[in-house]
Amino acid sequence: MTTLDAVRWSVGDPTDKTNTLVKIDVEGAELDVIEGGRSWLRPSNLFVIEVHEERFLDPLRAIFAEQGLRLVEVDQRPLPLMGRETRGEKNDWLISDLLDSENNS
């Protein structure tokens, strides 16, 4: 196991933490992942976070807001191309506010 902050690229600048799409689906460890990945909280990076517990929504938004970033909640609906999906009763997606990202780039 490692943290996001410890991630290094195998090509280009191994320490570059910009212009990256970060998808997080960690079955309830969302806050832990973000706590170990604060160096990635930059306006040029986009985040897609599957949130498995409603109690994590506000703390995640607050962590991003500390860095001047905004997460928005999107409605999670089944996609016909994906076939049948079974989801918990409460399961949310927070994504980087694309309009906010354009203004900060």
The 10s digit of each residue's pLDDT in 4-20 is 999 988 889 999 999 99
**Which of 9, 13, 63, 11 minimizes the C-alpha distance to 36?**
63
pLDDT score of 89: 57
pTM comes to 0.82
The model's pLDDT over 24-53, given as tens digits with 9 standing for 90+, comes to: 999 899 999 999 999 999 999 999 999 989
Residue 87 has pLDDT above 70, yes or no: no
Question: CB-based contacts of 10: which residues, under 8 Å, 6+ apart?
Answer: none
**To the nearest whole number, what is the mean pLDDT of the chain?**
86
